[in-house]
Each structure stands twice: as C-alpha cells, then as structure tokens.
Amino acid sequence: MQMTGAEALLEAMRREGVEVIFGYPGGALLPVYDVLYDTTDIRHILVRHEQGAAHAADGYARASGKVGVCMATSGPGGTNLVTGIATAYMDSIPIVAITGQVPTFAVGKDAFQEADITGITMPITKHNYLITDANELPRIVKEAFHIARTGRPGPVLIDLPRDVQQASIEFEYPEKVQLRGYRPVTTGHARMIERAAEMIDAAERPVIYGGGGITASDAQAELVALAERADIPVTMTLMGKGGFPDDHELSLGMPGMHGTAYANYALHEADLIIALGTRFDDRVTGKLDMFARRAKVIHVDVDPAEIGKNVRPALPIVGDVKQVVGELAKRVKENRHPKWRERIAEWKRQYPLTWKGDGLKPQFVIQEIWKATEGRAVIVTEVGQNQMWAAQFYPCRETRQFLSSGGLGTMGYGLPAAIGAQVARPDRSVWDIAGDGSIQMNIQELASAVAAKLPVKVAILNNGYLGMVRQWQTLFFQDRISHTDISDVTPDFVKLAEAYGAVGLRVTEKSEVTRAIERAMEIDDRPCMIDFHVARDENVMPMVPAGGTVDDMLVE
C-alpha cells in the first residue's frame, strides 16, 4: 500500500499493538501530527514537557509490561527526552522514543532546532536509528520494538527527518526481524541449572536476592514455587519489589542501604546467594569486597555483561529468569531450614521495620494509604526519602505495582510515570508518593493529567527539605544544612493543584490523614494532590552508609 513516511510510522505502531503515545508536537514532527489528527485507534496524551512524555511512556511500560511510546520534536524536544530515556535505560524498561529531525538535506548544518540526538543518546539507549530512507521505516520500527522488548529490555530511539515523514513509500510490514548481531540467550544451560539445584540442595543458609529481572520476565509464580519448595528466604530489590509478595512468610523485604536490617544480616550470614535478574548495585552491596563474604553466589541474568561485572559468581547462568527459575523449582529437593529460619525470625523481632514518635510522620501517611487502598494501588515514587519510605511501608503483593526510578534516581519521575501507569491501569488507584522537592521538578504534568481526566493521586510528604540530601548532611556532614532547606519558598500546593484544575487538599494533623486519603479516593475524574505537612527532621532508617558494611548499619 502506498503511504507517506508519517502514515507508515503510525501503521507500523498499529501493527505493534501500540495503544497510546505520550508526546509533544513541534515543527519537525508536523507531518506525523497531521496523521494523528485523523487517528482514533491510537490515543495521544499531550504532555506539557517532553521529559514528562518519556517518563509517562516508562510508567506505562512498567505498569503494563508493554512497550511505552513517547514522541518529541527535533532539537530541544529530543534533548528534553534524554533524562527519561536514561531513566528507562538504567532500569531496563522497554520504550520506543520517536524524535522529529530536520530534513535530511539540512542534517549536520546546524539547522533550526537541530540536535544530534542519535549521537547524544548513544550511551543511554539499547539501540538507536536515524532513518535516511523512508523505505527502511517499516523494518526499523519493527526492529525497534523487537529490540526494546526482548532480551534485557531497554529504550530504543528512532530519529525521523521531516522529509522522510513526507516521502511516499510502498508499505510492507516485515513478518520477521533479522538482526545477526542480536540473539539474546533465553534458555539457561541445562548442566548449569543442574549444578545450581545441587548447590541449593546443599546450602544451609540460602538467600534469594531478586531484582527487576523477576518483573521483566514475569517470573513471580516460578520464584514463589522455588522459594517455598526449597524453603529459601527472599529479599527483593527496589526494582524487584512485588516480584515476591512482601507479606509472604519467607519475605525479607528490601536489601541494601535502606533495606531491612534482617535482609542485610541474612545476606551477610548466608552461605549461598541465588541472585536472580539483578546486578549487585552499589546501593545493595555497599562495600563490594565485604559483601556477603561467606556466600557462594549463583547469578542468573539474561545479560551476559552483568555476570562478573561486580561480583564473580561461583556459578553463572545466562538465560531468561523465568525459564531458569522455573527449571530450578522443578529440580530442587523439598527442603527445610529451621535453624536458619529461626535466626532470621530473631532478627525480625529484634530489628522490625518501624518508626518512632507519634506526630504526622511520613511513614504513617504511607501506611494509611496502604490501608485505604487495601495494598492494591499502583505506587509510583519520586526520588529520595519519599521513595525509600514508600518502598519500606507499602508492602506489595504483585509485580508491576511499584514503579520507581532505581538506577538513575530521577527526581521528577513520579508524576509523569503515574500518568503513564494510570493510562495502563485504569482499574487501579495510582498514587505518586512525592516529596516537596521532587514534585516541583515536573509539576507541569498536572495539566496533562487534568486534560486526560486521569484520577492520579499525589501524596506530597512535605518536610520543606530536599530530605535525603539533608539526611546525609545531618549524618555525614556535621549537620551543615547546605542548600537543602527549601521551606523559605514553598508554593501553596493546594492552590497550585486548583490552578491546574485538579483537587488540592492539605493535612497538618495526624488525625486528618485518613479522611484526606479517603476523600482523594472518591475523586475519579481528575488528579488530586494532598499536601501532607510531615515531621521535618525524620530520617530514613535503617541506613548502611555509602560504601559501608552491615557493621556500619544505623538502625535509628
């Protein structure tokens, strides 16, 4: 069929099952937006800043398991996507970003709104393309979606010059992708799996340490089966949260810097660590050569480059986590570790995850949101203290229920990602747990949510500080509060919400918390932002200082 490049782009997306595009138009994308004018089967959510588009596509992808799509014009449109693309790259989230580009004859001539976006995004995309021949467009779009969602998922960018959008082509969508440089291994080596099962059977103090790979490969059922059969306690990273039910008796919660004391002690004393779809991030390991010194490590990951990057495993298995864990669950012996379980139970009694004091505490707010939503909300976070408290005090039972910028740690992620999540999950209550610092980084996206009638809830844990940095200054820089007190100018968040056409609520007393949350839950046609004036000087505990060990852990 004869069509323009712009029509071919939309048709290719249709073939890939795209339901929604988060975008912002501009000169170099006019032909595509002209096609969108008549498009009814693909929804377009207009953001108010391109960074919001990238995060919304990311939030959509995390909440749905599908590929998220964002779109921006050339030059500043593309550069505004960069933080969102880097966020998705660090957390292995499948998104396809489309950027307009100046016409091919003008590329490289510093034309108006020209930026070398393929050059800029080279180190933060799984792959990227500059299309110079419209005939290649269908194949490239097909490849882009394939690359984004397979193997270790990640963002792919397609840069589309304006004349390519206008060129006429014969549209033929390829059935298969042929990429000779890309053949991700999905099936783990049978002999290695056999050996892993033997190691698990022989272990006395095993711990499973699971990450985002559990979510990416949808391996929760297999993981639960393995843990229960072999009686192995499980700690899930921030990226893996929900991949093993937080309320399961074998759950240790999160490991690492702000993980539970018992998860960290268990890793420290384990004789076998089964690392599944995770990458031994410094926020988990602390001082690397002191990490889990008594343990042999089995490392399962779909990305061979992760194996041996930070920790040399005794047994590496390259493969899809779901497949490998499924095999392991069948092969391990039924087992019980009563002594090990009792040791962990003792740590749980001794160092429970809790907080002190009775005022309007941020932890209390999150716990009340958990109660009101019956633990079923999709929780999106910003970055900082709000993020860690959300991870600690909102137990999750499902994958794709807790969305957070783990690797890049992007402040301003939460609100636009919540918009994407709400589009993906209209059936669920979606909450952005925010700080008063983070929320101001993409506050303009309130307008997008209002325009799209999305009932996202924003809970601002307002302490007048860039709280996590303030915490570090307090603990490690002699309380020299350098440029982290932002209480001198805090916008009136209630008025701000109202100015955007959203609902704003303010809570200053503990007794008002539950009522405000319930009020927010009643609103179903627009966003609601609650400004919780929480205790200012609360610290996130426990804490293993950066580069420290469990012996350095602060518990209160």
Partner 1 sequence: MTMKHTISVLVNNRPGVLARAAGLFARRGFNIDSLAVSTTNDPDTSRMTIVVDGPDQVLEQISKQLYKLMDVIKVLDHQDEPVVTRELALVKVRADANSRAEIMQTVSIFRANIVDISETTFTVEVTGGAEKIDALINLLSKHGIKEMMRTGRIVLSRGPRTA
Specify the residue, 87 or 118, whose C-beta has the smaller distance to partner 1: 118
Is residue 17 at the binding interface for partner 1, with CB under 8 A as the rule? no
Give the residue, chosen from 303, 485, 512, 552, that forms a contact with partner 1 under the rule CB under 8 A: 303
Q: Contact 24/47 with Cβ under 8 angstroms?
A: yes
Specify the residue, 156 or 224, whose C-beta has the smaller distance to partner 1: 156
Q: Whole-angstrom Cα distance, residue 310 to residue 319? A: 18
User: Cβ of residue 312: shortest distance to partner 1, in angstroms?
Assistant: 9
Is residue 182 at the binding interface for partner 1, with CB under 8 A as the rule? yes
Give the residue, chosen from 190, 305, 475, 499, that forms a contact with partner 1 under the rule CB under 8 A: 305
Q: Contact 507/424 with Cβ under 8 angstroms?
A: no
Sign of CA dihedral 278, 281, 287, 289: positive
How do strand 402-403 and strand 378-381 relate by DSSP bridges?
parallel
413 by DSSP, 3-state: which?
coil
Dig out the tokens for 113 from the structure: 């709104």
Is residue 181 at the binding interface for partner 1, with CB under 8 A as the rule? yes
Q: How many residues interact with partner 1 (rule CB under 8 A)?
A: 17
Q: Contact 335/201 with Cβ under 8 angstroms?
A: yes
Q: Which residue has the tokens 């698990």?
A: 200
Closest C-alpha among 328, 276, 321, 318 to residue 297: 276
Q: Which of these segments, 99-107, 179-187, 406-414, 429-437, binds partner 1 (CB under 8 A)?
A: 179-187
Closest C-alpha among 191, 182, 207, 195 to residue 278: 207
> Could you give the string, one character per residue 308-347, with x where binding to partner 1 holds by CB under 8 A and - elsewhere?
xx--------------------------------------
Dig out the tokens for 445 from the structure: 């996206």
Please state, as a whole number, how many other Cβ atoms lie within 10 Å of the Cβ of residue 41. Answer: 8
Dig out the tokens for 190 from the structure: 């049978």
Specify the residue, 152 or 533, whose C-beta has the smaller distance to partner 1: 152
Q: Whole-angstrom Cα distance, residue 146 to residue 232? A: 35
Q: Whole-angstrom Cα distance, residue 131 to residue 15? A: 19
User: Cβ of residue 429: shortest distance to partner 1, in angstroms?
Assistant: 38
> Could you give the string, one character per residue 95-134, with x where binding to partner 1 holds by CB under 8 A and - elsewhere?
-----------------------xx--xx--xx--x----
Specify the residue, 121 or 165, whose C-beta has the smaller distance to partner 1: 121
Q: Contact 497/503 with Cβ under 8 angstroms?
A: yes
User: Cβ of residue 130: shortest distance to partner 1, in angstroms?
Assistant: 8
Specify the residue, 161 or 414, whose C-beta has the smaller distance to partner 1: 161
Specify the residue, 122 or 221, whose C-beta has the smaller distance to partner 1: 122
Is residue 178 at the binding interface for partner 1, with CB under 8 A as the rule? no
Specify the residue, 198 or 303, whose C-beta has the smaller distance to partner 1: 303
Residues at the site binding partner 1, with contacts judged by CB under 8 A: 118-119, 122-123, 126-127, 130, 147, 179-182, 303-305, 308-309
